[in-house]
Structure 1
Amino acid sequence: MVDETIFKAYDIRGIYPDTLNEEIARDIGRAFVHSLGLAGSRIVVGRDMRISGEALSRAFIRGVTESGADVLDLGLVSTDALYFAVGHLEEPGGAMITASHNPKEYNGFKLCRENAIALSGEEGIFRIRDLILSGKLPPPSDHPGSVETGDIAEPYAEHCLTFIDTEGLRPLKIVVDAGNGMAGKMLPPIFERLPFEYEPMYFEPDGTFPNHPPNPIELENIAELRRRVVEVGADFGAAFDGDADRVFIVDEKGDPISGDMIVALVAKNILEKEPGATILYNAVCSKAVPDLIEREGGVGIRTRVGHSIIKPQMREHNAAFGGEHSGHYYFRDNYFADSGIVAMLTVAELVARQDGPISELLAPIDPYVRSGEINSEVADQQAKLKEIEEYFAARGAKIDHLDGLTVDMGSWWFNLRPSNTEPLLRLNVEAENRETLERERDRLLEMIRS
């Protein structure tokens, strides 16, 4: 019996072998080919270092070839390198076997069409789910596909370096924590071509994650990186998640830089090279982001959270860059796909073009203080949102519903939005000073949790 909860809004994800096993992986391969009409063409397949990755990859490839499509098997790669391969080789589809930042018992599939257009729930994943659940998968093809192996590391390294100008950059020292994930494989060929010194942490891909979980958004998982940056006098530190599509950066003092401030830094770099470019940012990002885009002469467009929202809008507006507070950074010239590695390189270039440290670069950009995302378990999310909206509407707040509830009180504002997958409300508060932030955050949490 297939557990249909593994088919999610942005990908397929479950626990191996309980809810995701070889039999289901094979069916996903068959359904992927049939639902997208890919028989007779070639699909690119990659996987991360998870223990179950090889077995699931073999089973998925078997399902694909049985259905009459060929496979280019890249083996161990990062998710952004898989997207690059699909776009660069002009193939009609790709599959990355990964569970990103989840614990080691998880695995899953990120699927895409031509030009690395990601499949989301409504745009393909639920069709694959329904085909599998119907029990009406077509029988194996009379003309099974073939499998060849390939390596994308060198072309991918060259592609990443097209996003920066390496001439005249001062040498930097960067500590990189790959978290035993795929950044450890993809980064060395890139750094070989750069005037930067890097200190590797946990570059050996290891799906048991012996050092810390592959989720750098949690502060405890970057504690060692923060110490190391200060110890070795590095210019900054970078931590990647398991499949290396997200990056989190700490400054020269070991202080974490929020995802939306990385959005601002990348936007600044892009607008210096491409004046007037369109930049997308999600509704949870700091006001500092649209402030910077406007100051630098760009066109800012505010969007809802989520790659299935942002990527189509980027294509529609031909946006040079799109960023999320959660560490996802999307680039037009990367087939509109996200890349933690390209984001890190653009930040490094910006730092290497000036004399001061990264914290000095940020200081004039970021006059605000933020709470970070705070989750509260709430049984009736919609009732709570309505209650809070009515309270602030009566006090003359500026309110919008682009993504959940955004309330602007002038000197401070907040966004409160329901989780797609859990009975949670996610709160982000930003204010002009620490005292206001703490007072309003505590008051909101009392209202949310009462």
Structure 2
Amino acid sequence: RRIADGRLQRADAPGGLQQREVIADYVQRIADDVQLDRPLKVVADAGNGVAGAVAPQLLEAIGAEVIPLYCEVDGQFPNHHPDPSEPHNLEDLVQMVRRFDADLGVAFDGDGDRLGVVTRDGRIVFADRLLMLFAADVLARNPGAMVIYDVKCTGRLSDYILRNGGSPMMWKTGHSLIKARMRETDAELAGEMSGHFFFKERWYGFDDGLYAAARLLEILAQREEDPSEVFDELPDAVSTPELKVAVAEGTQHAQVALVVAAAQAEDSPFAAARISTIDGLRADFSDGWGLVRASNTTPVLVLRFEADDADALERIKGLFREQLQRVLPAGTELNF
């Protein structure tokens, strides 16, 4: 509008343009800080996203043996969509890790700010369990530090952070919301179930999947055990991945508000649960929890469930299914 109206400001002096190759500086900055105590063989799947232009040389610079997978940058994404939070996008990575007997596999999203991990035996390590490893490492040098995680993360995470001398805080999903909360609380570390990790300790507080991969390999290389054994030591539970229920455009927030209101009623089946409404409805029971929240970007409801055993998981899923059936239009497919 200002251009159309001719309301443009002129600088006192002409500006300048400087071009600089930053990849070498970026790799050197990380390699100066992170070096592996022992070599690890890693398959790196960039899904043809931009991380492929950097990830192999970065991981090699810190001491890893790298087997690149789909590291040719191609915006058509001919092999699979570069989203490591979707298990089916990790199938080729699992096969390559097994084929080359690698220690683990790492995957990045299209713009390189998220990280996914698979083990030698083909298991996906969810981001909330990766955050446990990161938290223990950061807290060893920063006792009492705050660690932030989003509402989709495991119920085991809070106790794990406390046992390692930290201060846990659950917060809303969304990388911009997490970063803002980090600034407000001066937290040293944060993470999301989607694979965003934010390190303030030794880094700059923004989400960088490549840097997170380097920090993960650093931790694993300090241990004598196989990486799969390190992950096996972390607290675990029966859980679902992130589930999505499609709804009409623009209705997701209103529908979640109805579920929240019903759950807070005196006769609600959620009466025995500890309720959090910071982002949708999260109900924590003595033997598990469930979550429903509205996506900030697409017309879907996002759900996740976790419990001590399969029976408890099905019971909690049933409670949420019943509540959703009451508020969603007839015929809405509930895929859980």
Q: TM-score range by the shorter chain?
A: 0.7 to 0.9
Match of 1:152 in 2: 22
Match of 2:103 in 1: 235
Please, which of 32, 40, 59 is the counterpart of residue 191 of structure 1?
Answer: 59
Aligned counterparts of 2:7 and 2:149: Cα–Cα separation in 1: 42
Match of 1:426 in 2: 302
Match of 1:374 in 2: 243
Does the alignment pair 1:311 with 2:185? no
Secondary structure in structure 1 of the residue aligned to 2:190: strand
Q: TM-score, structure 2 length as denominator?
A: 0.86
Please, which of 378, 386, 398 is the counterpart of residue 274 of structure 2?
Answer: 398
TM-aligned CA deviation for residue 136 of structure 1: 5.9
Secondary structure in structure 2 of the residue aligned to 1:253: coil
Q: Please say which of residues 214-223 and 254-263 is displaced more in the overlay.
A: 214-223
The 5-angstrom pairing of residues 351-362 of structure 1 reads 351-362=220-231
The 5-angstrom pairing of residues 329-340 of structure 1 reads 329-332=197-200, 333-340=202-209
TM-aligned CA deviation for residue 275 of structure 1: 3.0
Secondary structure in structure 1 of the residue aligned to 2:132: helix
Cα RMSD, aligned residues only: 2.4
Are the aligned partners of 1:252 and 1:357 in contact in 2 as well (CA < 8 Å)? Answer: no
Does the alignment pair 1:205 with 2:73? yes
The 5-angstrom pairing of residues 19-418 of structure 1 reads 138-139=7-8, 141=10, 145-166=15-36, 169-332=37-200, 333-378=202-247, 379=251, 380-381=254-255, 382-390=257-265, 392=268, 395-418=271-294
TM-aligned CA deviation for residue 238 of structure 1: 0.6
Are the aligned partners of 1:368 and 1:432 in contact in 2 as well (CA < 8 Å)? Answer: yes
Instruction: Give, as a single letter, the amino acid of the residue that structure 2 aligns with 1:154.
Output: A
Q: Please say which of residues 310-319 and 293-302 is displaced more in the overlay.
A: 310-319
Secondary structure in structure 1 of the residue aligned to 2:61: coil
Are the aligned partners of 1:419 and 1:425 in contact in 2 as well (CA < 8 Å)? Answer: yes
TM-aligned CA deviation for residue 307 of structure 1: 2.2
Are the aligned partners of 1:393 and 1:399 in contact in 2 as well (CA < 8 Å)? Answer: no
Aligned counterparts of 2:54 and 2:77: Cα–Cα separation in 1: 18
Q: Encode CA deviations 1:306-329: one digit per residue, 9 max, x unaligned.
A: 222221221233221111111110
Are the aligned partners of 1:288 and 1:365 in contact in 2 as well (CA < 8 Å)? Answer: no
Long gaps (5+) in structure 2: 327-336
Taking every aligned residue pair, what percent have the same amino acid on both sides? Answer: 33
Distance change >3 Å, CA 363–CA 135, structure 1 → 2: farther
Please, which of 288, 307, 311 is the counterpart of residue 435 of structure 1?
Answer: 311
TM-aligned CA deviation for residue 264 of structure 1: 1.2
For these two proteins, the number of residue pairs brought into alignment is 317
Q: Encode CA deviations 1:342-398: one digit per residue, 9 max, x unaligned.
A: 111111112111122223212232231211221223455122332244364663322
Aligned counterparts of 1:406 and 1:135: Cα–Cα separation in 2: 49
Aligned counterparts of 1:400 and 1:389: Cα–Cα separation in 2: 10
Secondary structure in structure 1 of the residue aligned to 2:157: helix
Aligned counterparts of 2:322 and 2:114: Cα–Cα separation in 1: 32
Match of 1:95 in 2: none
Aligned counterparts of 2:164 and 2:146: Cα–Cα separation in 1: 11
Aligned counterparts of 2:189 and 2:205: Cα–Cα separation in 1: 8
Q: TM-score, structure 1 length as denominator?
A: 0.65
Secondary structure in structure 1 of the residue aligned to 2:58: helix
Instruction: Give, as a single letter, the amino acid of the residue that structure 1 aligns with 2:132.
Output: A
Aligned counterparts of 2:291 and 2:32: Cα–Cα separation in 1: 36
Instruction: Give, as a single letter, the amino acid of the residue that structure 1 aligns with 2:277.
Output: H
Aligned counterparts of 1:394 and 1:436: Cα–Cα separation in 2: 14
Aligned counterparts of 2:169 and 2:195: Cα–Cα separation in 1: 18
Aligned counterparts of 2:28 and 2:145: Cα–Cα separation in 1: 24
Are the aligned partners of 2:151 and 2:172 in contact in 1 as well (CA < 8 Å)? Answer: yes
Distance change >3 Å, CA 394–CA 438, structure 1 → 2: closer
TM-aligned CA deviation for residue 336 of structure 1: 1.3
